[in-house]
Homo-oligomer: A and B are copies of this chain.
Amino acid sequence: MREASLFQGCGEIDQFRRSRCHPALYEDLAQGERELHQMFREAPSRTVPAGTVLVTPDRQSQSLYMLHRGWACRVREWPDGRSIIPEIYVAGDLIGFETALRMRPDDEVAAIQPVTVQVLEADIVPTLFARRSTATYLAWLIGETQRRAERRAEMLVDLHERLRRRDLVTAGSFNLPLTQQQIADHLGLTVVHVNRTLRLLREEKVAIVDKHVVILHDMTRLRLLASRELNDAPGAEDAAPAEAAKPRS
């Protein structure tokens, strides 16, 4: 039912990026996405339990995955036991391409839940780069990753958007199978602070995150709070207009 919308061509490019990517490349992007989805659709599928490591730091058993069901994340561990989560993958995401191009020596990709993936061998990467459509799409995809990293503070908004594209948001709420520790690792904060912030969001009736269920009530204000944390009030037309002309300090 919802697999249909995931793989039947009404992809990310069509729905969201048309106006944003270079016009001359739009056709290639859409085409590349279709082709790649098609390849994965025909690829063997595998279901693995939570905690399974899909991509390891050492270059053994390199594969490419499309995440078909469930959540996964990229994890980087430090010798002292701490870890950070530079990337979160949801259903429909592709895994292993940045890795094929250039491995961060100490990253691995692990399943957060039991997940179903479709698997291709990494050998095909050169083939993909030999076709203009798929090459363009992969480059775009890698660029998207970066754009997403720049919006970490808007994590909830970003996840909501990505899940909505894939019909995984129902009645304004979605499932978030992350512990507060994992959220903290992703945002570079402490569990304690994440907990307090989530409480604040709840009290302010901006969003509720409880028992792995997220309900966003006031998207606008959430976005505002997130960006204020990082860079102070973008779009702050309501900041004292008398000071608006003040240069910078």
- Do A231 and B82 have beta carbons less than 8 Å apart? yes
B contact residues around A230 at 8 Å (CB): 188
Interface string of A89-130 (1 = CB under 8 A from B): 000000000101111110000000000000000110110011
* Copies per assembly: 2
B contact residues around A5 at 8 Å (CB): none
Q: What is the CB-to-nearest-CB distance from A247 to chain B, in angstroms, rounded to a whole number?
A: 6
Pick from A197-205, A210-218, A234-242 the stretch touching chain B.
A234-242
Kindly identify, within residues 143 to 162 of chain A, every residue whose CB is under 8 Å from any CB belonging to chain B. Answer: 143-147, 149-150
Residue of B nearest to A77 (CB): B234
Contact check: which of B101, B139, B244 meets A22 at CB < 8 Å? B101
Q: What is the CB-to-nearest-CB distance from A248 to chain B, in angstroms, rounded to a whole number?
A: 5
Interface size on A, residues (CB 8 A): 58
B contact residues around A132 at 8 Å (CB): 126, 129-130, 135
Contact check: which of B22, B80, B102, B248 meets A143 at CB < 8 Å? B102
For the complex with contacts A81-B248, A146-B149, 9 further pairs of A-B residues with Cβ separation under 8 Å are A20-B105, A22-B102, A24-B125, A25-B100, A80-B239, A80-B244, A129-B132, A146-B146, A149-B149
A-B contact pairs, 6 of them (CB 8 A): A24-B125, A24-B126, A25-B125, A78-B232, A79-B235, A142-B143
